[in-house]
Structure 1
Amino acid sequence: MSYQQERYIAELAVQRATLLTQKVFFEKAKGTVSKDDKSPVTIGDFGAQALIIQAIRKNFPNDEIVAEEEASSLREDKALSAEIWRLVQDIKLEDAESDKILGGPLPSEEGMLDIIDEGKSSGGPKGRIWALDPIDGTKGFLRGGQYAVCLGLIVDGDVKVGAIGTPNLPVDDRVAITASTGAQQTETASNGVLFSAIQGEGATSRPLSSGVLAPSKSISMRPVPDIAQAVFCEGVEAAHSAQGDNAAVAERLGITAPSVRLDSQAKYCSIARGAGDIYLRLPVKKGYQEKIWDHAAGDLIVREAGGQVTDIYGQRLDFSKGRTLAANTGVVAAPKAAQDQVIDAVKVVLKL
Structure 2
Amino acid sequence: MAARAAAASMASHMVAKAALGCRTSSSAPAAVATGALVGQVAGTALQQRAQHHRRQQAAAAGQPTRQRRLVAVSVAAPAATGPHASPVYGSEMHAAVEAVRLASRLCQAVQVQLQRGEKTEKDDESPVTVADYGAQALVAWSLQRSFPGQAVSLVAEEDAVELRAPEGAGMLARITALVNEALAIEHPQAAPLTPTEVADLIDSGSSAGGGSGRHWVLDPIDGTRGFVGMRQYAVCLGMLEEGEVALGVLGCPNLPQYAISEADCDEGQAGRSFSDEAVGTMFAACKGQGSWAGPIFTSMPSQRIFCNDTLPANQVRYMESFEARHSNHGLALAIAEEIGITLPSLRLDSQAKYGALSRGDASVFMRFPDPSYREKIWDHCAGVIILQEAGAVISDAAGHPLDFSKGRYFPDLHGGIVAATPSMHRAIIAAIQKIRGDSSS
TM-score by length of 1: 0.91
Distance, in Å, in 2 between the alignment partners of 1:68 and 1:5 is 24
Identity over aligned residues, as a percent? 39
Distance, in Å, in 1 between the alignment partners of 2:246 and 2:368 is 25
Q: Is the 8 A contact 1:41 1:135 kept in 2?
A: no
Q: 1:327 to 1:58 in 2, by over 3 A?
A: farther
Distance, in Å, in 1 between the alignment partners of 2:194 and 2:378 is 27
Matched, 1:194 2:282: yes
Once the two structures are TM-superposed, the CA of residue 237 in structure 1 deviates from its matched residue by 1.6
**CA shift digits 1:117-146 (9 cap, x unpaired):** 011111111110111000100110011000
Equivalent residue, structure 2, for 1:208: 296
Q: Is the 8 A contact 1:32 1:142 kept in 2?
A: no
Aligned with residue 146 of structure 2, among 34, 59, 78: 59
Equivalent residue, structure 1, for 2:110: 24
Equivalent residue, structure 1, for 2:163: 74
Distance, in Å, in 2 between the alignment partners of 1:43 and 1:227 is 42
Q: Is the 8 A contact 2:102 2:186 kept in 1?
A: no
Q: How many residues align?
A: 341
Which residue identity is paired with 1:52? V
Matched, 1:236 2:327: no
Counterpart of 1:350 in 2: which secondary structure? helix
Matched, 1:303 2:391: no
Q: 1:147 to 1:35 in 2, by over 3 A?
A: farther
Equivalent residue, structure 2, for 1:122: 208
Q: Is the 8 A contact 1:125 1:321 kept in 2?
A: yes
Q: 1:67 to 1:161 in 2, by over 3 A?
A: same
**CA shift digits 1:267-289 (9 cap, x unpaired):** 1111001111100002322x532
Stretches of structure 1 that go unaligned for 5 or more consecutive residues are: none
Distance, in Å, in 2 between the alignment partners of 1:346 and 1:27 is 43
Aligned with residue 410 of structure 2, among 308, 325, 331: 325
Which residue identity is paired with 1:208? I
Q: Is the 8 A contact 1:289 1:328 kept in 2?
A: no
Deviates more, 1:264-273 or 1:39-48: 39-48
Distance, in Å, in 1 between the alignment partners of 2:353 and 2:191 is 32
Q: 1:224 to 1:215 in 2, by over 3 A?
A: closer
Which residue identity is paired with 1:167? P
Q: Is the 8 A contact 1:33 1:139 kept in 2?
A: no
* Structure holding more helix per residue: 2
Deviates more, 1:154-163 or 1:184-193: 184-193
Once the two structures are TM-superposed, the CA of residue 42 in structure 1 deviates from its matched residue by 1.8
Equivalent residue, structure 2, for 1:256: 342
Distance, in Å, in 1 between the alignment partners of 2:229 and 2:222 is 13
Q: Is the 8 A contact 2:118 2:129 kept in 1?
A: no
Q: 1:85 to 1:317 in 2, by over 3 A?
A: same
Q: 1:268 to 1:347 in 2, by over 3 A?
A: same
Distance, in Å, in 2 between the alignment partners of 1:234 and 1:32 is 28
**CA shift digits 1:161-204 (9 cap, x unpaired):** 100100111022xx243254233214233210111100111000
Matched, 1:89 2:180: yes
Q: 1:234 to 1:215 in 2, by over 3 A?
A: closer
Q: Is the 8 A contact 2:397 2:417 kept in 1?
A: yes
Q: Is the 8 A contact 2:120 2:128 kept in 1?
A: no
Equivalent residue, structure 2, for 1:275: 361
Q: Cα RMSD between the aligned structures?
A: 2.2
Stretches of structure 2 that go unaligned for 5 or more consecutive residues are: 1-86
Distance, in Å, in 2 between the alignment partners of 1:348 and 1:50 is 46
Matched, 1:292 2:357: no
TM-score by length of 2: 0.73
Once the two structures are TM-superposed, the CA of residue 266 in structure 1 deviates from its matched residue by 0.7
